[in-house]
Chain A
Amino acid sequence: MDFSHSLSLILPEIVLSVAGLVLLLVAAWGGDKTSRAITIASCVVLAACFAIVAPSVCAAAMGPDTVAFGGQFTADAFAGIAKLMIFAAAGAALVIAPAFFGRYGIMRAEYPVLILFSTLGMAIMVSATDLMTLYIGLELQSLAAYVLASFLRTDDRSAEAGLKYFVLGALASGILLFGMSLVYGFTGTTDFGGIRAALSGGMATGALFGIVFVLAGLAFKISAVPFHMWTPDVYEGAPTPVTAFFASAPKVAAIALTARVALDAFGAQAGAWQQVVIFAALASIVVGALGAIGQANVKRLLAYSSINNVGFILIGLATGTAEGVSAMLVYLAIYVAMTVGSFVAVLMLRNAEGEALEAISDMAGLSRTKPLLALCLAMLMFSLAGIPPLFGFWGKFVVFQAAVQADMVALAAIGIAASVIGAFYYIKIVKIMYFDEPANVVQGRSDWAHWALLAISTAAMSPLGYLLTPWLGELADGAAAALFLAA
């Protein structure tokens, strides 16, 4: 492996870090008045990275050609498809931010830069094939995210969210590091391939502890039950564009990372982690569904919804098969589109003074005051509930199909039965928007960028989305094959 080939493989990461540093200098000297230009530049950078990664995904890149720096980094199709989702979600988080922060007069130039660094961290996470690379990516992503969570300095809730996120995130990192050190101690290597080889014969109890601790640390990052407690508080407190970001991009990164760790590094000991993942999946579905029922704040509700969705995604992982990983990726793509769409719709809920509204009761009768917005949000809610013919159903469909194909019929049956509980609160939002008398609070107008994002995600979730299934399935299959080839 020559050095130039390695460098060419990490081209998106190089572009992201150089652009991030340059834009940071521009922000430092130019001040907040450059925030608009920096936001646009960041979007361009993300689009460029998207374009760089896309060919490798379409070509289902895999094998030794995709490994850089002696096995520390892999730019295969699996990493690529996750990166595409991350870049798209980060771009959305940039587009929706100026209108939100502008109202408080604190659209600071650091925001797009932090998003870029966080994105860089995530790109490293999904490509990591070494515990060291993994940790560097994870921490880079997390540190940027802690700052983003408390970005709304004038708001106590935002500061609280940042602090909570930091303390719990640091704890999770500690647990992860402890697990990694155990794994290293019992296998003698930090390389995923090496760990796999060391574990293939048998496993010491210490290594099992290592696996469990690593998974626990990662479960924090993807907010799977029982490590989900921080999610509602952070989602509620963080500024809404940041929440939209948290609910989409880092989730993709952490889940892709978990899949790679589980199937590549610990692939030889699937039995050891499968039961952990199955428990986390079912517990996330049930807790995510039950916890959402009593919520009065729409951001808290969406936080529980994301916990619920993580459960379905983990069902795909729990199968431990290529079909399961492919299904997981399809679900992730659909989930990102639905989540971004939902948060954009929430951002568009403003009162006459332009202040953001978060109480679910404020949405009462929205179908009569803002029919188009209500229609889009209703479609997204039905889609999140997994009701056909909306596209959200397809995500659940492929995941449960993978579970059935892997002979996990009981897991599939319990999971899908629990999804009915989740449907309750999604249709409750529809009920509030369509059945209740108008509260007439939502008055504000939204700019074209919000409408465009909402239109894109709603169109993707409409039955038209099914026309994407052959293409989406092919890409996900290629990515899953890449992961299993490495494993």
Chain B
Amino acid sequence: MGGFPILSLMLLVPMLGALACLFSGAKAARTIALAATLIDLALGLLLWANYDVGGAQWQFVERAPLFSQFQWALGIDGIALMLIVLSVFLMPICILASWDAIETRVGEYMAAFLFMETLIIGVFSAQDLFLFYIFFEAGLIPMYLIIGIWGGANRIYASYKFFLYTLLGSVLMLIAMLWMANHAGTTDIPTLMAYDFPAGAQTWLWLAFFASFAVKMPMWPVHTWLPDAHVQAPTAGSVILAGVLLKMGGYGFIRFSLPMFPEASAQLVWLIWGLSIAAVVITSLIALVQHDMKKLIAYSSVAHMAIVTMGLFAFNVQGLEGAMIVMLSHGLVSGALFLCVGVIYDRLHTREIARYGGLAINMPKYALFFLLFTMASIGLPGTSGFVGEFLSLAGIYQANTWVAAAGTLGIILGAAYMLYLYWRVAFGVQRNADAAAMPDLNTREWLMLGSIAAAVLWMGVYPESFLAPIRKDIAALDARVSSAAPESDSRLVIGQAQAAPAEDAAHGGAH
């Protein structure tokens, strides 16, 4: 790509679109927003097409010393590339999802979304510690406004909770970042990823980053903002929240916690595992008893994110790759599920599961898509969910069988609550006349769900497209983590058991 600053351009386009939306009427704002997100999607695909798989670790690098103590440093590796592509893919869909649903203050709404897109791309492409923090934190403002202005009945409470929870998590991370910059004498993320912090300090730094990423992720027990925020956010807000914002936590673990503090990661792995086990079981059980569709999917998000953290802290390639694929898959699937809820919410204006039933009769196309995404969420082979969950669980099994067992239990519970949800909404008798009279998908909705469905099947059938760009980066991360961190006991035991016959033979030959 030469020196063309494509990442800056991707940040600039939605930014300018946001400013234009702020000062234009409803109709113009929708068009501007769609155009800006589509341009960014095109740029994102261009980025993917020009990404040199197996080339330099950091590509599309841009540096400009604009500020006094940090610089405008952008650049991506395969992990960031995939997450950026996911974001720019979901964004036009979010705009389409709010096409008719949002009627008040459309300009401000679209501006908030475009501003959000700028910040998301910024988070994934920032190569300077403080630039990352600014993008990471700034997302609070548009999301606060989106939940608070266009949310449901209890939106004020949800917006406060979202804002203050995430802010408290992040400010501690800022102190840790200041300490790191002071100690290492640089704010360059690639340099810091190879920097060895003293083991004693690592624990504290790791905990400070954990405070931020665990809230963003969200991990049990600091997940309680998520169901509130989701239920009250408009459909597109939920899509972007589940699809992309939650990935910032996972991205943070991959980019900061693991490579920068490998010793502390290994030392505190029990914390992550414990919380992940608690999350996957408890939130799955909570999801089983929900009456509100969005809340159910929100809790399922927490459970899926627990699978991600298990995979990330398995300290092996399968676990890390699986975690990445679960993140991408969950971005698509949970986004699509929220869209499915949005489709029927737009028609009946309720999220009560009991108000629906038998939708397969009057909305067959909708029922088909909903079924596909339900299955993808459960992890049916052939969908994206299977690839990610299988790899993650295979990875964590090598590290700790008990955690793997709990993770599997969560998958089973996931099948239970998702199938139960689908049964109540789409099958059975048509209990309510108004629900039975709802029209099937229109072209706009078909387009949104269809494009995500294609991506889900692509990722499920040929995951290599998505694994290839991240393979080298995952391998580098694995080398960094496994060389620095002691492996867990249970993994060692399994390793010997598998290798035992071959080893005996080798020994026999040698003697």
Contact = CB atoms under 8 A, between A and B. Distances in A.
Given A388-B138, A389-B138, A423-B163, A431 B171 contact: no
Nearest to B136: A388
Interface string A344-383: 0000000000000000000000011000000000000010
A397 B175 CA distance: 9
Contacts of B141: 382, 387
A404 interface: yes
Contacts of A416: 171-172, 174-175
B194 interface: no
B67 A387 contact: no
Main DSSP-derived SS at the B contact region: helix
Contacts of A427: 144, 160, 163
B429 interface: no
A296 B79 CA distance: 48
B437 interface: no
Contact of A389 (B134, B144, B167): B134
Contact of B67 (A419, A434, A435, A470): A470
A266 interface: no
A412 interface: yes
B497 interface: no
Interface string B151-178: 0000110011001100110011011001
Contacts of A469: 67-69
Contact of A404 (B145, B164, B178): B178
Given A388-B138, A420-B171, A401 B159 contact: no
Interface string B165-203: 001100110110011011000000000000000000000
Contacts of A417: 168, 171-172
A413 interface: yes
B148 interface: yes
B262 to A, nearest CB: 22
Tell me which of A388, A398, A401, A472 has the highest count of chain B C-beta atoms within 10 A of its own C-beta. A388
Contacts of B67: 466-467, 469-470
B182 A387 contact: no
A226 B164 CA distance: 27
B149 A387 contact: no
Nearest to B201: A409
B499 interface: no
A424 interface: yes
A382 B141 CA distance: 8
Contacts of B179: 404, 409
Q: On chain B, which size bracket covers the interface?
A: 20 to 34
B66 interface: yes
B182 A397 contact: no
Interface in A448-483: 466-467, 469-470, 472-474
Given A416-B172, A420-B167, A431-B148, A388 B137 contact: yes
A405 interface: yes
B277 to A, nearest CB: 28
A304 interface: no
B458 interface: no
B134 A413 contact: no
A400 interface: yes
Contacts of B168: 417, 420
A129 B66 CA distance: 37
A393 B135 CA distance: 12
B156 A431 contact: yes
Tell me which of B140, B167, B168 has the highest count of chain A C-beta atoms within 10 A of its own C-beta. B167
B138 A387 contact: yes
Contacts of B171: 416-417, 419-420
A387 B172 contact: no
A431 B159 contact: yes
A321 B135 CA distance: 30
Interface string B43-80: 00000000000000000000000111100000000000
Contacts of B69: 398, 401, 469, 473
B133 interface: yes
Contacts of B163: 423, 427
A435 B167 CA distance: 20
B18 to A, nearest CB: 12
B113 to A, nearest CB: 16
B149 A434 contact: yes
B130 interface: yes
B164 A424 contact: yes
B270 to A, nearest CB: 24
Interface in A393-411: 393, 397-398, 400-401, 404-405, 409
B174 A423 contact: no
Nearest to A473: B68
Contacts of A470: 67-68
B160 A424 contact: yes
Nearest to A476: B68
Given A388-B138, A389-B138, A413-B175, A435 B68 contact: no
B139 to A, nearest CB: 10
A404 B182 contact: yes
Contacts of B160: 424, 427, 431
Nearest to B115: A389
Nearest to A389: B138
Contacts of A368: 105
A111 B145 CA distance: 41
Contacts of A367: 108
Interface of A: 367-368, 382, 387-389, 393, 397-398, 400-401, 404-405, 409, 412-413, 416-417, 419-420, 423-424, 427, 430-431, 434-435, 466-467, 469-470, 472-474
Given A387-B141, A466-B67, A472-B68, 5 more contacts: A389-B135, A401-B69, A413-B175, A420-B168, A427-B160
30 contacts: A382-B141, A387-B138, A393-B134, A393-B137, A398-B69, A400-B175, A400-B178, A401-B69, A409-B179, A412-B178, A413-B175, A416-B172, A417-B172, A420-B164, A423-B164, A423-B167, A424-B164, A427-B144, A427-B160, A431-B148, A431-B159, A434-B145, A434-B149, A435-B149, A466-B66, A469-B67, A469-B68, A470-B68, A472-B68, A473-B69
3 closest A-B pairs (Cβ-Cβ)? Answer: A388-B134, A469-B68, A473-B68
